[in-house]
Homo-oligomer: A and B are copies of this chain.
Amino acid sequence: MKMLINVPETVVADALRGMAAAHPELAVDVENRVIVRGDAPVAGKVGLVSGGGSGHEPLHGGFVGPGMLSAACPGEVFTSPVPDQMVRAAAAVDSGAGVLFIVKNYTGDVLNFDMAAELAEEEGIRVAKVLVNDDVAVTDSLFTAGRRGTGATLFVEKLAGAAAEEGAPLDRVEAIARQVNENARTFGVALSAVTTPAKGSPTFDLPDGELELGIGIHGEPGRERRAMMTSREIADFAVDAVLEDLRPKGPVLALVNGMGATPLLELYGFNAEVQRVLAERNVTVARTLVGNYVTSLDMAGCSVTLCQVDGELLRLYDAPVETAGLRWGR
């Protein structure tokens, strides 16, 4: 498998150097692997720190900036960052108002963020944690006890980030993050396997003419394999899998997310089918976001995340955000 890299060992450091060059508004510590918004700490503001294995870009580093994360800690590809990164990030963004750790539910991430929270508190930083576990595909998985954290991470980071930007205190920012996670569900589909730089060949075997329903963002096994389906059939399956678990009583945010290698032309076409199913199921869509946001390197495929919102959550979604990967104004 050909990659646009030098050697697998330097992939993450190289990307951080490239990010530093492209984004002077960020403070990128290449050696210690921490990406911090350039104006941190912001007086009186709660800090938001997330992180996880690399290979899901723009998540998380591309979501650092006003209105979203204060800092991100990238691990090696598909490998948890270490507690030292998280403590450094917390120290860099804490204004005294405390820090929220946003943790995707993978065993390594959970353990390391737990340890980091203890270490940060020893340094006098108040820390709260929220676990993201939105993937309805499987109960336990390759790297996870319980549900995996996937697409909903974007909504948690965006809405809690907006609350923090407005000056909400730590317990309120934490409550928003928890509410978003509890109201969000995701289902993903792979059309091709993912290749990590270290392995250099696909990490699993997905035969021609088959797709995998319920895939994770590291290529973890899903629910089942089937003969290749149409966009229409995939939308029916994915949306119904989400709606089996989330029975929205109000409007939803919809994230129609690409896994990395699926062209935007196809993603928009898929979105048309997602919207059709949602209309058929009488679900009202308040906002839709289509693009490659929570990815799995070069994997082809998509995921659908729905998040039920009330007026306050919708207001937080619409609030301005200025990051490399997600931007809008009022």
Contact = CB atoms under 8 A, between A and B. Distances in A.
A21 B288 contact: yes
Contacts of A191: 2-4
Given A2-B300, A263-B260, A328-B327, A268 B22 contact: yes
Nearest to A287: B22
Nearest to A19: B268
A250 interface: no
Interface in A264-316: 264-275, 285, 288-290, 292, 295, 297-298, 300-302
A256 to B, nearest CB: 8
Contact of A298 (B7, B62, B300, B302): B300
A192 B261 CA distance: 12
A38 to B, nearest CB: 15
A319 to B, nearest CB: 13
Tally of this chain's copies: 2
A53 to B, nearest CB: 11
A302 B4 contact: yes
A232 B7 CA distance: 10
Contacts of A17: 269, 272, 275
A57 interface: yes
Interface residues of A, number: 66
Interface in A1-22: 2-7, 10-12, 14-19, 21-22
Interface string A195-219: 0000000000000110100000000
Contacts of A175: none
B271 A55 contact: no
Contacts of A273: 6, 14, 18
Contact of A267 (B4, B232, B301): B4
Contacts of A58: 264
Contacts of A285: 21
Interface in A102-134: none
8 contacts: A2-B300, A4-B269, A11-B269, A19-B268, A22-B288, A55-B265, A262-B298, A327-B329
Given A6-B232, A21-B272, A327-B328, 12 more contacts: A4-B262, A15-B268, A15-B272, A18-B272, A18-B273, A18-B290, A22-B256, A22-B271, A58-B264, A260-B261, A260-B263, A320-B329
